[in-house]
Every structure is written in C-alpha cells, then in structure tokens.
Structure 1
Amino acid sequence: MEIEDDAAPPGRRERKKRETRAALTAAALRLALEKGPDNVTVEEISEAADVSVRTFFNYFSHKEHAILARNPEHLASALERFRSAPAEQSPLTVMWLIVHDVLRDLISEGELSRRGELIMGSPNLLYHLMLSSFDDERQLSAALAERIGDPLRAMLIVSTAGAACRVAMELHKQAPDRPVGDVLDRAFQLLAQGIDPAFAPDPDGQKGF
C-alpha cells in the first residue's frame, strides 16, 4: 500500500495529494461503472488505488463522494474568488469564472460524460450530489451576500448558476458533439440578459398566498 509522505516538501506533498485524490476518484468511477455504484465498497476503491482505507477517509467521507469526484478545493477556491475579485467585476461574472474552473478540472479527468450518465442513473448518487450542491450553494451565497449586501440577489445568482450547470450537462448528454462549455456560456448569457424580459405580473392580481 502507498503511504503518504507527510515529511515531504510542501510542493511535492501537494502533488502527491492531488495524485492520490485522482487515483481514488478514477478507481471509484471505474468500479462503479463495472459493478454499479451500490455494489462498490471503500475497501475495493482503496485497493484499486493502492492506498489504505485510512488514506481514503483522509480524502472522502464516503464512497459516493469519491465516485462523484467531490473536491473541497473547488469550494475553497470559489470562496477565495469572491473575496479577491475586483470590485467592478459583476457577481455573475465571478460565478462564470468559478464554474469554468471546476469544469476545466472535470474535463481534464476525461470522464465527464461517463460520470454524468452514472449519476443520472443512480438515485443514491443524485441524492448525495444534491446534498453536497446545496451545501456549496449555501456557503457561496453567504460569501456573495457579504460582498454585495443583498442576500436574496446573492442566493438567486448562485442557485441559477447551479441550475445553468445542470441544464448544460443534460443538454450536453443529449448532444455530445456540442462542447459543454459552449452550452454553459450560452446559459450564462441568457441569465445575464434576463431569461424572460417580457415578464409582467399583474400587480393588482391575487397572488394566492
């Protein structure tokens, strides 16, 4: 079994952590595709990645996060973007940059489509994806609200950006020849322009609540 070298220099240690995380997510996805996500164990994933079970839990709280390739560094990087973005940069622009950072990492793994198909076919993976996504959105919304001073607007920006990502992935699955990044860019353009500029509710009508 591979043992992580905590005494290694910071640069090498971080590289080894990235390599270990990548090995675990690759093994988790391969085994989930072969056996079905419900039939894979943490022990099998760890053995396939040539690490100990203890090392597995240094990276993931359970097997579903390994299959989903959930990386807390994505959230940390996103929160840092909100903190360091120039004041003149619009919130939706910052969200666009955040989404493209994550998408770039997922595409570099070369398994974006297969992982997406696996998730859509597994209620358990969908459940864990939604839970983790909601938690990320809460933290991102809080960070954006602190930046712009408008909690409602912040939550709408973050949640609609998340919806745009989900829609882009679904459309990419239907038309794989169209790059998911292109679909995502179009979705963000629609959000920026207003998806229904003709919206005109009757201010005197009954709202029903």
Structure 2
Amino acid sequence: MASEQPQERPDQPRPRGAAGLRERKKLATRDALSWAALRLALERGLENVRVEEIATEAGVSPRTFNNYFSSKYEAIVSRHVDRTRRSAATLRERPADEPLWEALQYAALPPFEGPDQAPDPSWTSALRLMLAEPALQGEFRRAALTAGAELATAVAERTGTDVERDLYPHLVAAAVLAAQQTASDRWLYADPPVPLTPLVREALTLLAAGLPDPSVGRPH
C-alpha cells in the first residue's frame, strides 16, 4: 500500500447537477475521514486512535463516521480501494481505439501522482510501523479483493471478455495492482527516500512493455 502525503485529488470523478453536488460532498467527507484516520494513526500509533477522535479531526460526528466506515482500519485502507475505483472509472473513459496497456497506464497512474519529491523519512517510518499491525493487514487483504474485482470488471468491459468466466481481465488487473504495490514497497523502504510517482510510472511502463529481460544485450 502507498499512503501518499495529503494533497488535492483532482482525478476524482465529478458528477453534475444537484445529485452530483451531494455525491461530491460525500466523497469529500469520506476522504476527510480517511485522511484523519491516517494522520492520527501515524502521529499516535494505530492502537491509540479512537473513532471519536477521527470524527472530531474530520469535523463530523462519530455517527457520520459510522455511516462511511465500520472501523478505523477500514477508513485507512479505503484509500487503496478508492484509488482503484478512480483508475477503473478513468479506464472506462479512455478512447475505445486506444491500445489496452496504453489506456491502463493513463488510468492507473493519476491516483498516485503528487508532489515530485521524496517523502519525509519520519512519515515513511511511521507508515511502516502502522502497516505492521495485523488487524490492518487483514483489512488490506479484504480490500485487495475488492480492488482487483473493480479493475477486472473495467478491463473486461473494454476487452469484451467475461469477468465471471475469463481469466484474462483478472490477470491484467492483478498485474497492474502488483506493479503499483511493488513500486509502493520500493518507495516505502527506499533509503534515501525517493518520490513515489516516478516509481509507479516506471513499474507500469515496464509492465506495458511486457517486462523485457534487462539482461538481453548486456555484456556477460
């Protein structure tokens, strides 16, 4: 999982009209709660954060928190699923005649884009400690299934395959998510720290190229 430092999310879908305004408000509240849970967990340690404190940090009531998430773990992990949903939505909007892997690169990178700078080492250190929590790891495994299904459905729609029956859309979705996760892990443990976006871009580019063997043409 990559937990980027707080930033604006210009890539989120923007519905229109009154219903669109309500939906944007819901997305903003969900995002604020997720960020509040993440910030407090990194500052205090995950075990020292209560739902009531997350709600207060986000400027809403605990009841509102419960309308969006069942636990502080789900609030934190929701960022992973939300990124994949944005990628799936973007993939559906790409030109129909655009090659699949080119479209996937356009769709899968924006949710990871942010300031092109290395993270504060204290941020990544706290993040590593938080991610070691067993309860959070379990929530991530559940989220990974949801994220994979979201992206596989979008791939199936684009390629005319059957998401219930065919292996192809699931393989593609799993490969894209694995590329993102590998880049995120590299970012999380890099010493000295490095920016996240170039790593995700490189991983997706290598995947789209078919993961060419880097040893080919190299003198032995």
Moved more, 92-101 or 74-83: 74-83
**Change over 3 Å in CA distance of 1:114–1:55 after alignment to 2:** farther
Question: Which residue of the partner structure matches residue 187 of structure 2?
Answer: 172
Pick aligned residue for 2:56 from 40, 47, 50: 47
Q: Deviations over 1:15-66 (max 9, x none)?
A: 6445433432232123212432234221221123231112112332321122
Q: Please state how far the C-alpha of 1:183 moved relative to its aligned partner.
A: 1.4
Stretch moving more, 136-145 or 92-101: 92-101
Match of residue 122, structure 1, among 117, 121, 133: 133
Counterpart among 133, 142, 146 of residue 144 in structure 2: 133
Q: Which residue of 1 aligns with 2:11?
A: none
Shift in alpha-carbon separation, 1:116–1:35, aligned structure 2, 3 A: closer
Aligned match of 2:66: 57
Q: CA shift at 1:159, angstroms? A: 0.5
Q: Which stretch shows the higher mean deviation, 16-25 or 42-51?
A: 16-25
- Checking the alignment, whether the CA contact within 8 Å between 1:96 and 1:188 is kept in structure 2 is yes
In structure 2, what residue type is equivalent to 1:179?
A: P
Aligned pair in 2 of structure 1 residues 50, 65: CA closer, same or farther (>3 Å)?
Answer: same
Alpha-carbon offset, residue 171 of structure 1: 1.0
* Structure 1 residue identity aligned to 2:65: F
Match of 1:195 in 2: 211
Corresponding residue for 2:218?
none
Q: What secondary structure sits across from 1:87 in the alignment?
A: coil
> What pairs with 1:1-209 in structure 2 (closer than 5 Å)?
13=22, 16-70=25-79, 74-104=83-113, 113=124, 116-150=127-161, 151-175=166-190, 177-195=193-211
Q: TM-score, normalised by structure 1?
A: 0.72
Distance 2:80 2:132 in 1: 22
**Cα RMSD after superposing both structures:** 3.2
Q: State the AA in 2 paired with 1:43.
A: E
**Greater shift in the superposed pair: 12-21 or 97-106:** 12-21
Letter in 1 for 2:91: F
Q: What's the CA shift for 1:197? A: 5.5
Q: Separation in 2 of the partners of 1:88 and 1:43? A: 49
- Alignment coverage as a number of residue pairs: 188
- List runs of 5+ in structure 2 lacking aligned partners: 1-17, 215-220
- Greater mean deviation of Cα atoms: 115-124 or 10-19: 10-19
CA distance in 1, matches of 2:81, 2:207: 27
Q: Is the 8 A contact 1:141 1:154 kept in 2?
A: yes
CA contact (8 A) 2:109 2:201 kept: no
- For residues 106 and 14 of structure 1, the distance between their equivalents in structure 2, rounded to whole angstroms, comes to 27
AA aligned opposite 1:128: E
Contact preservation (8 Å) 1:79, 1:143: yes
Identity of aligned residues (%): 34
